[in-house]
Amino acid sequence: MTRFSYSPEDMKTRKYIKKKMRAYGLSVREDGLGNIFGKLEGTLPNAPSVLVGSHYDSVPHGGNYDGVAGVIAGLEVAALFREHNIRPAYPLEIVAMIEEEGARFQGGLMGSRGINGLIKEEEFHTIKDKDGISVIEAMEQAGLDPSLPVHRDPKTMKAFLELHIEQGPILEQENIPIGIVEKIVGLTQLEVTIRGVAGHAGTTPMNYRSDALITAANIVTQLPDLAVKEGNGTVITTGQFNVYPNGANVIPDKVVFTIDLRSGEEASIHRGIKEVERLITSYQKGSIETSVTQKLLIKPKALSENIRSIFKETTKELGISSMSMLSGAGHDAMVFSDYTEAGMIFIPSKDGLSHCPEEWSDIEHLAQGVDVLFETVKQLTAKD
């Protein structure tokens, strides 16, 4: 699946999600970014909501479970509330968020960052995709309303819960259906630009060249060693690589690539950034120019101890085995954790695969995850 924010695929999925929300008795609204909320009112006046959900955008040529499994799980929790005729004291809101992956507008986690006020609304005019289309323009082209408010008062949120596929092999190898996330790694995303001098591939001698691609390649091949040297589970990935003018017989004069650096320790992230910048700057000589722009920086986040304990008790009561885990991927829950109690559970991923068409999770594990969410949400939305 390729489902970029505000694309035709987004609009089809958006229509389906809103249809299901209404079928389960939820009042539906969208915010000024296109995040979708379905609300079941509570009996307590002006009480904060318990939010359940995830994102529904994808990476290019990704799988059908990343993010979407969490949205479906939220919808199923709402269906169970309706089926059992449960009227919560605190409101229940199912949320489906856009642009977590950053596949269209880069940076990632845009939906949850917007909700929590981490992006100024005027920035939605300046954040653009590779075709130069801004967030505002893309929304208008899709028929959405960017004039609606985006930022949400933290006082309106009692908790945020997210189910997600693990995207790794641990749960499957241990034959455990539920992972209770204790901590989410921090991450930074950098955009590196290397500028050289274009020239004819046949007439420019090797010792006269300022080849941006050769320089970029030399940098990229050294990045893994930086991560290994830092330790603490630090990982570095170059996922996007663009060469200009991209002609078979032209020496490249510009290369733009990304660096994704992650670690469970904040100090390792900052040291990693400095080492990456030092490496890149060392190649700035002669006609080669280098620059680095930081697109995203999120600190490692410990999730709510209270919600983790409820998850653990719930799995015991349901007779479902579980284990505590560290998340090596960033998720919307890490953004919410600074503004409300946030909790997250994983279900197994077959062969640990994700961000690819082979991504798959068993429906039984998804159902067990929904059961854990449902019982936890019933407790969190009940009168204190």
d(CA 271, CA 253): 30
Report whether 166 contacts 346 (CB < 8 A).
yes
Report whether 254 contacts 244 (CB < 8 A).
yes
d(CA 117, CA 114): 5
For residues 73-80, give the mean pLDDT.
Answer: 98
Report whether 171 contacts 351 (CB < 8 A).
no
Report whether 291 contacts 193 (CB < 8 A).
yes
Q: Is 74's pLDDT higher than 90?
A: yes
pLDDT at 153: 96
Helix, strand, coil shares, percent, the chain, to 5: 35, 25, 40
pLDDT at 296: 84
pLDDT band at 107, cuts 50/70/90? confident
d(CA 129, CA 99): 12
**Which overall architecture, per CATH, does domain 8-184+300-381 show?**
3-Layer(aba) Sandwich (3.40)
d(CA 68, CA 91): 22
Q: Is 221's pLDDT higher than 90?
A: yes
Domain assignments of the chain as residue spans, ordered by start: 8-184+300-381, 186-298
Element (H, E) at 151: none
Return the CATH number of 186-298, one of 3.30.70.1400, 3.90.1150.10, 3.40.190.10, 3.30.70.360. 3.30.70.360
Other CB atoms within 10 A of residue 335 CB: 26
d(CA 67, CA 331): 9
Report whether 40 contacts 26 (CB < 8 A).
yes
pLDDT at 122: 87
For residues 140-163, give the mean pLDDT.
Answer: 96
- At 323, is the secondary structure helix, strand, or coil? strand
142 closest CA partner among 32, 19, 304: 32
pLDDT digits (tens, 9 = 90+) for 369-382: 999 999 999 999 99
Q: Which of 3-7, 106-110, 128-132, 206-210 has the lowest mean pLDDT?
A: 106-110
Q: Is 329's pLDDT higher than 90?
A: no
d(CA 18, CA 53): 13
pLDDT band at 342, cuts 50/70/90? very high
Q: The whole model's pTM is what?
A: 0.81
pLDDT at 179: 98
d(CA 344, CA 165): 10
